[in-house]
Chain A
């Protein structure tokens, strides 16, 4: 069975690079490995020895390692083509509401990424799939997306508008007979509610397909190992903590927490003799290192997990070998617990 590793956390903490580095480590341990990334970072494609990342898995210069992008823009259209009858699909593709949902529904892009992840897992050609998850909502959106989309398509509004579980199209046209809706219709100044109801009725035809798929995805998310990436800065730390307080409903607790951009611990209490520009420089970085140590021990105490630490490198890895070194330089990262082992 395909092992899945989800690399999560808020934006700008180094998820994409760490995902690629874990991919290199997994491929070196043997087996076929796929890294899926949301970020079209050209530098990362370069580092993997690829001209550019596309939507289809493409081999990298590391034996056994392929990579692909998660492209959410086309995913909603694909969703419709897959789950709706042809005539309904055509109406949905043209609908302004559908475009709005595809572009702006908060869970939309995350759900599209989930579907693509599931497709790749279903290919059964991969021993390990590593997902660089979208940072929306501090990263936790990805895990909640299937449920949210299922509820959206399930048509709470439609049921409310029509007062029935699933009405025929004919009943729809009489719904404004209800006083509250007549008032609402007067406020929005026209046939908006009716149009929306028609749209929702079309969307409702996706329900069975999406519902089944969303439950499969939920199961895949539950089976996956999660690595939460953070830095010692307050905002990413708050988001990282949410994976321990809010995640258990949709997935298991994170297997690992990685503090990225860590300074050497020995700088924290430097025995610097003398003064001068260089000594002052070490002192301020020492203060930074101390803050990082404090943040890590506070996190460990609060969530009962010993964080792994990846050193701060001024330049991002530019090659497969540098990506490999990144995993080797990580302290306390238990690859076996993640299902990566030789």
Chain B
């Protein structure tokens, strides 16, 4: 499917999970996607799945909490706190009877989550799922883990469902896995740069995503592309020449690696003087 066609459908989904190799702009893009959707009139929840600070800074707040807070018109944000998510899971999602000794159960689950890593990942994915099932939001944008870890998060509900023989936990986990796998409901946004290592790692993971179908690709976003410079570097030594030479070299390298990637949405390099909030707003402007 062509990138432009894919892109038209991106905001029709209810859940977007943003992932990418470290340093390719995951949190900036998560914030930008949330801002863009809000500008189109959607009520958006941005969720920090693993790294809290990055998303907070790009949304212009100093901290995020488990309770959603409004960061700008149309955009609310929260950070997943594993203990709080477990608590919510036990109280609200498993519908435990009131008389149940919740505290010891909670402690057991918390300790279990440290030991059976699928539980920790599943509870994180679970929180996103519950929010997406609620009527509060038109769109959830999750600032996800790096590309190297995304697979274990996406597979967690299915592996919990397989590990736990029956019961409410099993039902919940199966429902989460179905949500992730439904391309009309959920999709992955993969960010990358047109550089050697990000391109190689991205292509490996795109092939894996395509093969496993635990959650399908919504769009690929190539970040930080330099414009072409339509002038030769002058002969006279000095900054004018050096900056032109550097630009040409970087641009050539990017174009070469861009050619190795499948079709994606291309975003420009942002020159100079930008705070994280400005970066997010500018990227939202630049999204098609």
Whether B115 and A157, one on each chain, are in contact in the complex, defined by CB atoms closer than 8 angstroms, is yes
Q: Is A244 located at the chain interface by the 8 A CB criterion?
A: no
Bound complex: CA A125 to CA B167 (Å): 57
Whether B169 and A188, one on each chain, are in contact in the complex, defined by CB atoms closer than 8 angstroms, is yes
Query: Which chain B residues lie closer than 8 Å to A180 at the CB level?
Result: 101, 104-105, 108
Q: Is B5 located at the chain interface by the 8 A CB criterion?
A: no
Whether B105 and A187, one on each chain, are in contact in the complex, defined by CB atoms closer than 8 angstroms, is yes
Closest to A292 in B: B272
From 141 to 180 in chain A, residues with beta carbon under 8 angstroms from any chain B beta carbon are 152, 156-157, 160-161, 179-180
Whether A104 and B53, one on each chain, are in contact in the complex, defined by CB atoms closer than 8 angstroms, is no
From 32 to 79 in chain A, residues with beta carbon under 8 angstroms from any chain B beta carbon are 39, 41, 43
Query: Which chain A residues lie closer than 8 Å to B152 at the CB level?
Result: 103-104
The one of A10, A100, A187, A314 that contacts B23, using a Cβ cutoff of 8 Å: A10
Whether B105 and A291, one on each chain, are in contact in the complex, defined by CB atoms closer than 8 angstroms, is no
Whether B253 and A315, one on each chain, are in contact in the complex, defined by CB atoms closer than 8 angstroms, is yes
Q: Mark B80-98, 1 if CB is under 8 A from A, else 0.
A: 0000000000000010100
The one of A135, A285, A315 that contacts B249, using a Cβ cutoff of 8 Å: A315
Bound complex: CA A103 to CA B118 (Å): 10
Whether B117 and A156, one on each chain, are in contact in the complex, defined by CB atoms closer than 8 angstroms, is no
Bound complex: CA A24 to CA B260 (Å): 32
Whether B272 and A290, one on each chain, are in contact in the complex, defined by CB atoms closer than 8 angstroms, is yes
Query: Which chain B residues lie closer than 8 Å to A181 at the CB level?
Result: 104, 108
- Give the contact-size bracket for chain A: 35 or more
Closest to B147 in A: A11
**Known A190-B164, A312-B246: A160·B253 in contact at CB below 8 Å:** no
Q: Mark B242-273, 1 if CB is under 8 A from A, else 0.
A: 11101101100100000000000000000111
Q: Is B134 located at the chain interface by the 8 A CB criterion?
A: no
Bound complex: CA A193 to CA B196 (Å): 45
Bound complex: CA A278 to CA B25 (Å): 28
Query: Which chain B residues lie closer than 8 Å to A160 at the CB level?
Result: 107-108, 111
From 13 to 41 in chain B, residues with beta carbon under 8 angstroms from any chain A beta carbon are 21-25, 27-28
**Known A196-B115, A264-B239: A135·B22 in contact at CB below 8 Å:** yes
Whether A287 and B94, one on each chain, are in contact in the complex, defined by CB atoms closer than 8 angstroms, is no
The one of B118, B233, B240 that contacts A100, using a Cβ cutoff of 8 Å: B118
From 97 to 115 in chain A, residues with beta carbon under 8 angstroms from any chain B beta carbon are 97, 100-101, 103-106
Whether A12 and B108, one on each chain, are in contact in the complex, defined by CB atoms closer than 8 angstroms, is no
**Which of B111, B115, B117, B146 neighbours the largest number of chain A CB atoms within 10 Å of its CB?**
B115
Q: Mark A257-287, 1 if CB is under 8 A from B, else 0.
A: 0000001101100101000111101101111
From 167 to 209 in chain A, residues with beta carbon under 8 angstroms from any chain B beta carbon are 179-181, 183-184, 186-190, 192-193, 196, 199-200
Q: Is B60 located at the chain interface by the 8 A CB criterion?
A: no
**Known A282-B240, A285-B246: A184·B273 in contact at CB below 8 Å:** no
Q: Mark A99-138, 1 if CB is under 8 A from B, else 0.
A: 0110111100000000000000000000000000001001
Q: Mark B159-193, 1 if CB is under 8 A from A, else 0.
A: 10001111111100000000000000000000001
Bound complex: CA A267 to CA B273 (Å): 14
Bound complex: CA A202 to CA B273 (Å): 55
Whether B271 and A279, one on each chain, are in contact in the complex, defined by CB atoms closer than 8 angstroms, is no
Q: Is B2 located at the chain interface by the 8 A CB criterion?
A: no
**Known A285-B247, A291-B273: A278·B117 in contact at CB below 8 Å:** no
Q: Mark B105-128, 1 if CB is under 8 A from A, else 0.
A: 101110110111110010000000
**Which of A10, A12, A13, A179 neighbours the largest number of chain B CB atoms within 10 Å of its CB?**
A12
Q: Is B276 located at the chain interface by the 8 A CB criterion?
A: yes
Bound complex: CA A267 to CA B246 (Å): 12
Q: What are some 9 contacts across the A-B interface (CB < 8 A)?
A: A12-B22, A43-B196, A100-B117, A138-B51, A184-B109, A188-B169, A190-B165, A286-B243, A315-B253
Known: A235-B54, A267-B243. 11 other contacts (CB 8 A): A97-B116, A160-B107, A161-B111, A187-B94, A234-B276, A238-B53, A238-B57, A267-B242, A272-B240, A277-B231, A278-B234
